[in-house]
Amino acid sequence: MQKAFNEHKHHIVISGYISAGSTIKTFTFADTSWNNVTVEGEAGGKAVLENIQLKFDGELLSNGTNISNIVVKNITFRGNISVLQKLSGADTQPGGIGTNYLGISFRRTTNALVDHCTIYDTSDDLTCVTLGSDKITFQYCHFYFSNAWVNMNPNPIWNWVGKNQDLASERLAMVIGANRNDSYEYGGKMLHVTLHHNWFGPNMKGRPLIRGFVHEYNNYFDNSTGRSDQYNANQIGSGSVIYSEANYFYKTNQSNQVGLDQNGDSYKFYERNNVYNGTTGTSQKGASFPSTTNFGYTYTAESASLVPSDVQNNAGPK
């Protein structure tokens, strides 16, 4: 895989299991020479990248220029818990290889598709869309944390953003927009993201945290393990515009929760035809979809009642 990257291959096929060993490895696609790249697992669903992050990062490019046209599909991304437990020092502080370890990250990237991937047990969010990225779709993906992660022993204390926390409690799915200034309303009308037929959970603590223009439909938010400290599914952030429809929320806690970077920040939250089964806590109720809603593409949302079966049977590598 390193050889393919060094040779600037634009179609990389993963066969079987590849591990970074006793460290964490990030492949950074950092300029427009990486436009039009596909990284995919071969058919059969056995492609695994362990302790490896794919980072599409155009933040050093000139303003207005993003990396574009990226496809990642049919791969399982997983963290090795024993390796993460052994990290120490700068690796576990803000900016460290542990605290910045995701499966896939998009920063200043436009037109990307993540299709039939599984991401679990990474020590930051499982994935992110930030820094003015735009037109990103996640479909038929599974995001979760294992029981081994929840029960890890020893359970080290790390510092992600100036606050110490135990590693086992850092179980976050996805962030869309890094902060208030990197949001749809306050950051230049970018961060259009579509989430459909994804499986979030089990063992999730929270998220997606959304500061973008996000259309989410037919996703399964799964707290079937019944943990009382979770699962705050949709975290509605500053500058967001969220359209949520025909999703299935199962035993989630505070299923839609507003959390703004500054008091008075704007947000818009619309919903229709969602199912809330066994949910707890107080949840934000969305407004009705506007009659003029137009996402720029055609789609058909299936009944939310069909979502758990469809998503569990079809999400992840095949």
pLDDT higher than threshold 80 for residue 107? yes
Comparing C-alpha atoms, which of 267, 264, 274, 282 is closest to residue 305?
274
Q: Please classify residue 272 by burial: count the beta carbons closer than 10 Å to its beta carbon, then call 0-12 exposed, 13-18 middle and 19+ buried.
A: middle
User: Domain residues for 38?
Assistant: 2-314
pLDDT higher than threshold 90 for residue 229? no
What is the average pLDDT score of the chain? 96
45-88, pLDDT tens digit by residue? 999 999 999 999 999 999 989 999 999 999 999 999 999 999 99
pLDDT for the residue numbered 206: 85
Q: What is the CATH number of the domain that holds 113?
A: 2.160.20.10
- Between 205 and 54, the more confident residue is 54
Comparing C-alpha atoms, which of 45, 104, 47 is closest to residue 70?
104
Which two three-digit tokens encode residue 6? 């060094």
Mean pLDDT, residues 280-304: 94
pLDDT higher than threshold 70 for residue 230? no
pLDDT higher than threshold 70 for residue 223? yes
Contact 80, 19 (CB under 8 A): yes
Q: What is the number of domains present in the chain?
A: 1
121-130, pLDDT tens digit by residue? 999 999 999 9
Mean pLDDT, residues 184-211: 95
Cα separation, 272 vs 270, whole angstroms? 7
Q: Please classify residue 183 by burial: count the beta carbons closer than 10 Å to its beta carbon, then call 0-12 exposed, 13-18 middle and 19+ buried.
A: buried
238-268, pLDDT tens digit by residue? 999 999 999 999 999 999 999 999 999 999 9
DSSP reduced 3-state for 308:
helix
DSSP reduced 3-state for 202:
coil
Mean pLDDT, residues 38-50: 97
pLDDT for the residue numbered 161: 87
pLDDT for the residue numbered 293: 87
pLDDT for the residue numbered 208: 95
pLDDT for the residue numbered 152: 97
Sign of CA dihedral 175, 177, 180, 184: negative
